[in-house]
Amino acid sequence: MEEQIIFENRIFCFTGEFENYTRDELFNLVVKYGGLPAEKMTLDVHYLIYGSVPNPHFKYGAFGNKYKTAHEMLASKIGNIIGIFPEDIFLSSLENTTLNANRLLIKSDSLKLLKRISPGKPRMKRSEILLRPLDASNYDWSFYVPNCFNEELDIRQTIRTDPVKDANGDIVKKANGKPKTIQRLVWTQGNFFTFQKGDTIYDTSLAYQEWGHALKHIKRMITIKYAQPVEFEEWQNKRSPGEVIFSLTIFQNGELKESENKTLTQDEFVKYLIDG
């Protein structure tokens, strides 16, 4: 078995009860570090992680039938199984794993991608390059758009299926001659933007601190008054760019000055968030 658990592109199954985490929290940790969770032990699973809390209803102390199945698969060298580990090894491996950090994303990078995907093809393939990184502090847009706006930016997780390759880069095949594949869960970018009425966006991340403190740092605030999302018009086989009507409030010398309403398409509004 591998001494260090590898998370990137690996599938994890869990059994038993864990001391400090619920099953959903464990699934989220796996996804955060580039893996994919599985509810059941299948031939695709790479790791079985078992909890440390004993349960009298389990056949094997702290875990159940998944443990027996994984042991049999490991002994028989069936499937993708790499190892069976207790929760403390799983958690220590998390501590020793560095999250993939995106480089600083500058405005021009985002604008180039926006130009490429928007208006784009009506049914474009979702891009694994994002308009702005999930590390919402690592980019220099004119406005701060936190992860709670992922849906509005059409950023979401997608399951991708890739062929398994050996150390030489050759595709590994099954006994029937078909390529062996692995699924991975990745963040992807589309071009169906959905900013909506009531959305409020500030020019600084400090706006999300205690309000009295935040007011000392906010210089600009966008308030959306009306919006129509980007939509696909089946009958014309084209993408409708939507609409956003918003006001811009300027904070200056303790005074607030709200501009007249501006009207942009959803595409133009995203460009405005990037470039100002």
pLDDT score for 157: 86
Range from 152-156, 221-225, 257-261 carrying the lowest mean pLDDT:
257-261
Any idea where the domains of the chain sit in the sequence?
A: 11-95, 102-174+191-276
pLDDT at residue 123 greater than cutoff 80 = no
Instruction: Note the pLDDT tens digit of each residue in 195-254.
Output: 999 999 999 888 877 788 788 889 999 999 999 999 987 777 788 899 999 999 998 877
pLDDT for 242 equals: 94
2-11, 23-32, 121-130, range with the lowest pLDDT: 121-130
Q: What is the pLDDT of residue 61?
A: 52
Find the mean pLDDT for residues 28-52. 83
Q: Indicate whether 1 pLDDT > 50.
A: no
Is the pLDDT reported for residue 120 higher than 60? no
11-95: CATH topology:
Rossmann fold (3.40.50)
Q: Work out the average pLDDT over 110-129.
A: 73
Residues 13, 88: Cα–Cα separation, whole Å = 15
Report pLDDT for 103: 42
Q: Burial-class residue 13 by CB neighbours within 10 Å (0-12, 13-18, 19+).
A: buried
Task: State the pTM of this model.
Answer: 0.60
pLDDT of residue 102: 42
Residue 169 Ramachandran class (φ > 0 left, ψ -120 to 50 alpha, else beta): left
Q: What pLDDT, on the 0 to 100 scale, is given for residue 146?
A: 86
Compare 45 and 185 and report the one with higher pLDDT: 45
Q: What is the mean pLDDT of the chain?
A: 83
Rounded distance between C-alpha atoms, residue 239 and residue 117, angstroms: 12
Per-residue three-class SS string for the chain = CCCCCCCCCCEEEEECECCCCCHHHHHHHHHHCCCEEECCCCCCCCEEEECCECCCCCCCCCCCHHHHHHHHHHHHCCCCCCEEEEHHHHHHHHHCCCCCCCCCECHHHHHHHHHHHCCCCCCCCCECCCCCCCCCCCECCCCECCHHHCCCCCEEEEEEEEECECCCCCECECCCCCECEEEEEEEEECCCCCCCCCCEEECCHHHHCCHHHHCCCCCEEEEEEEEECCEEECCCCEEECCEEEEEEEEEECCEEEECCCEEECHHHHHHHHHHC
> In Å, how far from its chain's centre is CA 191?
16
Q: Name which residue leads in pLDDT, 44 or 103.
A: 44
